[in-house]
Every structure is written in structure tokens, then in C-alpha cells.
Amino acid sequence: MVAKIIDGKELSKKILEDVKKKIQQNNQKPGLAIVLVGNNPASEIYVGLKEKKSKELGINCERYDLDELISEEELLNRVDELNQKKDIHGIVVQLPLPQHINDELVVNSVLPHKDVDGFTPVNQGNLVNDNNMLVPATARACIELIKSTGTEIKGKNAVIIGRSKIVGKPVFLLLLQENATATICHSKTKNIAKHTKNADILIAACGVPKLVKKDMVKEGAIVIDVGINRTDEGIVGDVDYENVKEVAGHITPVPGGVGPMTIALLLDNILQAMELHK
């Protein structure tokens, strides 16, 4: 079997067109503030991409490039100013923050209805309670990519590798909401292959280049690769793509899978945040 490629880039275009249309129909433009502290090269690329895409769609994007040495207190004050701004509907604090700043404290200071990343305790708690408000875009991306294959998620065995609060856990919760039987594997899981071999749906989000090998994958499985790893051979995912595609039924490439869908759904989250302001 050779897997069908799930084209995240193509799918993301449809979502972006939809978001653009909805913005055009609105009287007011959505406002997004992106806060970038310091000059982490990867963060600069991500922020540049989010800024470019949001402007293309007609979102008012305000970018705040702050000095690496900014104090935690000053950063909290800046976020609070954005919380108060009526024309800002969504706030993204680009992670990671410099070592001397407590990431969690700053992320949690974003008002829940402006938290378009879905990282605050209120939004995470809502997700646990099946009362979704703003859901992390990467987790939404995984679900949309699975659904695009036309496969029903209900009743399937889904295995997620990774338990981070930005990807692994929210994907797990969304899969439960879709009535999958979901399992999380992580860095302390013994014999990961025992779990993954049983997975109809396998989501790799561990940040370990090519961790998922061909012999760990069930024939015909849907494989979603969230990983973005910078290696000597360029950017690779958490899945050994070239070999795994010989056994999987569907597979996402890296790049061109989860990445573009994440950006598109982040922008969709801004529309949802705008609705919450009404």
C-alpha cells in the first residue's frame, strides 16, 4: 500500500478563503496583536508568517517587537494594555519567552476571550468540559486533516505521541469529543510501538525527528505528523515519512501538512474571538 498524501496546504487555502469572505461580510475588521520578545530566529519566521497571512485576509495585525531584556512586569503591563484595547480581538504571545520570564504567567494573563492560541486555563478547562471556546489551532488542524480523508473518527483507536498542553493534550480531548478511543504515549511510555501498532489514527507530536518508523504503524492507518525538527537534512517531522508512507493509508507531509493548517485555523480563531466580543 502507498499512502494518500493529505495536502494541508490545499486544505488550508479553503479555510483561508472562508475566513476572508467572513471578514469581508463584517462591518468591523478583526484586530490581532502579536507580541514577540527578543530575536529567536524560528519565532521571527512564525510571527512573520502569521502577520503576512492575517494582513492578506484583511485582519488588522499589530506587531509588538519587544526587547529581549524586557522585565516580566513590563511585559505583563503590555499584555494588559492589549487586553484593554477594544479594537484588538485576539492576542498571540509568541513562545518561547526569554529565560528570565515565566511563560505561563504571561500566557495566563491574556484575557480568555482574546486568547486565540487557546492556552489559558479557562480555554483549556472549557475543552476538558466539552464546552470549547478557543481551541489550540494545531489540535484543530489535526482533526480537520483526519476528517479530510473522509474517515469516520467515531470508534477508532487513536494514539497520540506527546502530551504537551499546546498539542498532545488538546488533540487527545478533541479526539475523545469525536468518540475515538484515545491513548497518549509520552517520553516515559514503555514500548510505544505496542500502542501505535494498534492505532487506526496516529498523531506524532513529540519533537523527535523520524521517531515513528514503518514497523510501528498499522497497515492503512491515518498518520498525522505535527513535528517540525530542524536537522542537517533540513526540516523533518516526527515520522519517517519515506518509509511510513509504504504502510499508512493516509499521511501528512512535513512541510505542507499540519503547519499551514495551524496558521489558517489560528486566523479562524480570531474570527471566533471576535464573535465572543459581541
As annotated, the active-site residues are: 50, 94, 117
**Shortest distance, CB of residue 95 to ligand NAD, whole angstroms?**
9
Give the integer Cα–Cα distance in Å for 256 and 264: 12
Distance CA 210, CA 189 (A): 17
Rounded distance between C-alpha atoms, residue 9 and residue 228, angstroms: 15
With contacts defined by CB under 6 A, how many residues of the chain interact with ligand NAD? 24
Q: Tell me how far apart the alpha carbons of residues 203 and 142 are, in angstroms, rounded to a whole number.
A: 8
- Residues 6 or more apart whose CB falls under 8 angstroms from that of 137 comprise 116, 117, 118, 261, 262, 263, 265, 266, 268, 269
145 binds ligand NAD (CB under 6 A): no
- Select from 18-26, 55-63, 65-73, 205-213 the region that touches ligand NAD (CB under 6 A): 205-213
186 binds ligand NAD (CB under 6 A): yes
Q: Which three cell numbers stand for residue 22?
A: 467572513
- Whose cell is 526569554? That residue is 98
- The residue range among 26-34, 102-110, 257-265, 268-276 that interacts with ligand NAD, by the rule CB under 6 A, is 257-265
The yes or no reply on residue 208 touching ligand NAD (CB under 6 A) is yes
Cell numbers at residue 151, please?
474517515
Q: Which stretch binds ligand NAD (CB under 6 A): 79-87, 149-157, 203-211, 213-221?
A: 203-211
Minimal distance, residue 75 CB to ligand NAD, in Å: 21
Site residues (vs ligand NAD, CB under 6 A): 138, 161-164, 166-168, 185-187, 192, 205-208, 211, 226-229, 258-259, 262
